Amino acid sequence: MNRGIQRSFSSLQAVSKQHIASLPRCDLHFHTHGALSLTQPFSFFPSQFPSSSMLPFFSLRHFNSSISPSLPFPRFPFLSSPFSFRFSTPIYPHKVFAMAARSSGGSSHSHGYTNRLATEHSPYLLQHAHNPVNWYPWGEEAFAEAQKRNVPIFLSIGYSTCHWCHVMEVESFENKEVAKLLNDWFVSIKVDREERPDVDKVYMTYVQALYSGGGWPLSVFLSPDLKPLMGGTYFPPDDKYGRPGFKTVLRKVKDAWDNKRDVLVKSGTFAIEQLSEALATTASSNKLPEELPQNALHLCAEQLSQSYDPNFGGFGSAPKFPRPVEAQLMLYYAKRLEESGKSDEAEEILNMVIFGLQCMARGGIHDHVGGGFHRYSVDECWHVPHFEKMLYDQGQITNVYLDAFSITKDVFYSWVSRDVLDYLRRDMIGTQGEIYSAEDADSAESEGATRKKEGAFYVWTRKEIDDILGEHADFFKEHYYIKPSGNCDLSRMSDPHDEFKGKNVLIEMKSVSEMASNHSMPVEKYLEILGECRQKLFEVRERRPKPHLDDKVIVSWNGLTISSFARASKILRNEKEGTRFYFPVVGCDPKEYFDVAEKAALFIKTKLYDEQTHRLQHSFRNGPSKAPGFLDDYAFLIGGLLDLYEYGGGLNWLVWAIELQATQDELFLDREGGGYYNTTGEDKSVILRVKEDHDGAEPSGNSVSAINLVRLSSLVSGSRSNYYRQNAEHLLAVFEKRLKEMAVAVPLLCCAAGMFSIPSRKQVVLVGHKNSTQFETFLAAAHASYDPNRTVIHVDPTDDTELQFWEENNRSIAVMAKNNFAADKVVALVCQNFTCKAPITDPGSLEAMLAEKPS
């Protein structure tokens, strides 16, 4: 959490303590065995809970009769029943829907009820459209109803593939008794956090700041004017294990509203005032200290190195999240070290990333049968995952593997990149090129089953393997560690309560070369057999009940994925000729990936962009959402469009990126204080404007924007270039303290600072007809080596529109193009520090020049 927020909240916490001083204090004593490493007691007082970075999604995956089934704990200071208990089992961020479903009552799956959510487009809201709860979507109708009845609002925020959101629905929102309490005493609002991240950000920030924990489902009680009164996350329906149940909480909130309303409202108003002050970060100067970028890169790399796992790769211990921005930082820092002559240090950093990527790809977090990556691993060895698949992971992870291939030239990394992209092409793309959001972790074990279980779609018994694979079964079982009793035994954190007993999550324990040697078999033959086996399993798996697909189209996530498809189209052209691929990799011509990127961008432009106002809408499902585009939508899409142009797309994509940047500056830029807010401020129901800097599962809009501005400044010249650089520097200055002290929280922002500090980016200018095979080859050569500080510009001087654009925006590029055009060939120019090397007409020579290491 931002330290400024914590400092600003000292007075808020003091007020909170005054408010609860008269109530009995409720102490929670945790004892975990390594999962979170928390052994000290914690109380409900906000300052005494672990940091929000530890508890974003955490829940007990397994529980017995002596412990409570969920974290983070709902913390309500007005609850007056003291309780204390101690855990004797690990805490995991994993879920078992079946456990909760067994204890649920009052199900309304028969559709005996229909509420206002039935007319919404969000898959998450539609999941709740037949609850007996009288749900409202976020909007004026709900706010007016709360004011008219003078009752508090119960706000529930989640998303369609959120496991504990499903659990709370089954346990509470389908329960008629709970529904009656909500309907009688509150106005209940349901929000899809993916559709309205602005609303989620306000109340998640409140819960994290006041209670130092958060997650989904997010449960917050508001005054009719939308000020937060108190908040928590998941609640079981009834009091259990010394914990208050949801019905108890509702009664206590009702009592507090009736008898202590003034104190509650005053506290909520004060909380928002303090948050507004803390989150309105401004720069004391619009200049960045000269030494800061390199220091921030070094500090972030050092902090990450301290958490490096030499046994299983990655940073930190269980649960293990990919967090691609960490790998991006380490690769960029290694490049900078190499450029400064510190090759040994660079190799050490690079090896950390490479080993982690190998472990991830061989682990169960990777879907070996169908491709793509699951959300995270519950254990330290990347084996047993939380099986949800998110689009924002796929795009970012692909880019990291593409970078690894560019650096190592090892087709292992190009294979993994293709694996993810082919999964997306097969399962996650709509008929008009739009890319969907997510696949759920839960599914039924068989057709007609009433309960869903996590991972049911993905796990295998040994008998299934034997029956499906026949003569190759033993071979396959050895390779993927298949066991009769199930293989989730590599760590005590994988499956301590035998939920996956008899089930196997595929994991490669040994290298392919070692296994092929053990079987006295050529590696290619070995890989061929494995591919055939995976395809047979895939065909069987396709007949299982599938996890829920969230077919919502989110602009920001599409932007991240447009980038990976565009980059793959040229980087993968550098695979060795004759490279063979095996299922689930298709082995297509890389140019097909470029078509996917263009179609996705075109979908957004035609469906979610207003040509008159130059504004985006945030998402699409059966039509555009009501929510406007947010900072992340603009920033991530601009980044994707810049890649789409630099990797061979038409000038139209660069023009659109420049237009979007102008709109982003108009809507979100703090021209006085620097940096970008996450919202426009036009929707008065969103009571906080936040300048986000944290690079987590998704990078922050400010980090991506800083990189976009640096890239744009090297594409254009003159006053516009200066404008982009000034905004980038001012943005970085806003987060100077963060870069100095907590660089590990902002790895991509550290990269942005490093990129900004380069006095002059290397420019590669390609001149010639763009519809030739030769031009494609030159583009592949220009992108063959890893260099985030390189800009690729391509110009066809015979195209009047192109030439006019460059004459208006960067005249030196136009002059270079006209002076070096040859009708029968492509010419490349490599320029830096206002100097260009001799023209190059051979793609191999261009690739060699760009790959040269500094002397």
For 661-711, write each residue's pLDDT tens digit: 999 999 999 999 999 999 999 999 999 999 999 999 999 999 999 999 999
- Residue 392 corresponds to which tokens in the numbers above? 């924002």
Query: Is the pLDDT assigned to residue 73 strictly greater than 70?
Result: no
pLDDT average, residue stretch 164-188: 95
pLDDT digits (tens, 9 = 90+) for 746-796: 999 999 999 999 988 999 999 999 989 999 999 999 999 999 999 999 999
Measured in degrees and rounded to the nearest 5, phi and psi for residue 223 equal -75, 165
Query: Is the pLDDT assigned to residue 40 strictly greater than 80?
Result: no
The sign of the CA dihedral 226, 227, 229, 234 is positive
pLDDT digits (tens, 9 = 90+) for 423-432: 999 999 999 9
Output the pLDDT for position 67.
24
Residue 27's SS3 state is: strand
Decide if 822 contacts 766 (C-beta within 8 A): no
Dump the DSSP string for 83-136. ------S---B---HHHHHHT--S--TT-----GGGG---HHHHHTTTSSS--E
pLDDT average, residue stretch 307-332: 96
pLDDT average, residue stretch 830-849: 93
State what percent of residues in the chain have pLDDT above 90: 80
Of 81-95, 190-204, 297-311, 573-587, the range with the lowest mean pLDDT is 81-95
Output the pLDDT for position 171.
94
**What is the pLDDT confidence band of residue 854, given thresholds at 50, 70 and 90?**
confident
Dump the DSSP string for 687-738. ---------SSS--HHHHHHHHHHHHHHHS-HHHHHHHHHHHHHHHHHTHHH
pLDDT average, residue stretch 271-295: 89
Per the prediction, the chain carries an average pLDDT of 87
Query: Is the pLDDT assigned to residue 230 strictly greater than 70?
Result: yes
Output the pLDDT for position 283.
87
Q: How far is CA 851 from CA 129, 330, 782, 845, in A?
A: 57, 19, 10, 10
Residue 610 or 82, more confident: 610
Q: How far is CA 644 from CA 147, 705, 782, in A?
A: 49, 16, 14
Output the pLDDT for position 451.
87
pLDDT average, residue stretch 194-213: 90
Q: What b-and-e string marks burial along 154-179, b requiring 16 or more CB atoms within 10 Å of the CB?
A: bbbbbbbbbbbbbbbbbbbbbbeebb
**What is the pLDDT confidence band of residue 463, given thresholds at 50, 70 and 90?**
very high
Query: Is the pLDDT assigned to residue 276 strictly greater than 90?
Result: no
Output the pLDDT for position 304.
97
**What is the pLDDT confidence band of residue 855, given thresholds at 50, 70 and 90?**
low
Distance CA 662, CA 656 (A): 10
Residue corresponding to tokens 């294990």: 241
**Range picked from 282-296, 406-420, 832-846 for highest mean pLDDT:** 406-420
Please provide the distance, in angstroms rounded to a whole number, between the alpha carbons at the two ends of the chain. Answer: 42
Output the pLDDT for position 90.
32
Distance CA 2, CA 702 (A): 15
Output the pLDDT for position 280.
75
Output the pLDDT for position 279.
80
Number of residues that make up the chain:
855
* Partners of 762 in the β-ladder: 790
Decide if 774 contacts 825 (C-beta within 8 A): yes
Of 79-93, 474-488, 493-507, 783-797, the range with the lowest mean pLDDT is 79-93
Measured in degrees and rounded to the nearest 5, phi and psi for residue 550 equal -90, 105
Distance CA 161, CA 57 (A): 13
Residue 191's SS3 state is: strand
How many Cα atoms occupy the beta-carbon half-sphere of 440 within 13 Å? 27
Output the pLDDT for position 110.
54
pTM attached to this predicted model: 0.88
Output the pLDDT for position 241.
72
pLDDT digits (tens, 9 = 90+) for 710-744: 999 999 999 999 999 999 999 999 999 999 999 99
Q: How far is CA 543 from CA 372, 430, 447, 804, in A?
A: 19, 21, 9, 55
Query: Would you call the peptide bond into 584 cis, given omega within 30 degrees of 0 as the criterion?
Result: yes
Q: Which of 575, 700, 590, 569 is nearest to 646 (CA)?
A: 569
pLDDT digits (tens, 9 = 90+) for 446-460: 988 888 999 999 999
Who's near 252: CB < 8 A, 6+ residues apart? 76, 78, 79, 80, 244
Query: Is the pLDDT assigned to residue 78 strictly greater than 70?
Result: no
Output the pLDDT for position 450.
83
H or E segment to which residue 218 belongs? strand 218-222
Query: Is the pLDDT assigned to residue 52 strictly greater than 90?
Result: no
Alpha carbon 443 to its chain centroid, in Å, reads: 22
For 151-217, strand residue ranges (E) read 153-158, 187-192
Output the pLDDT for position 275.
87
Query: Is the pLDDT assigned to residue 29 strictly greater than 90?
Result: no
Residue corresponding to tokens 């035609």: 606
**Range picked from 2-16, 804-818, 827-841 for highest mean pLDDT:** 804-818
Distance CA 796, CA 771 (A): 10
**What is the pLDDT confidence band of residue 36, given thresholds at 50, 70 and 90?**
very low
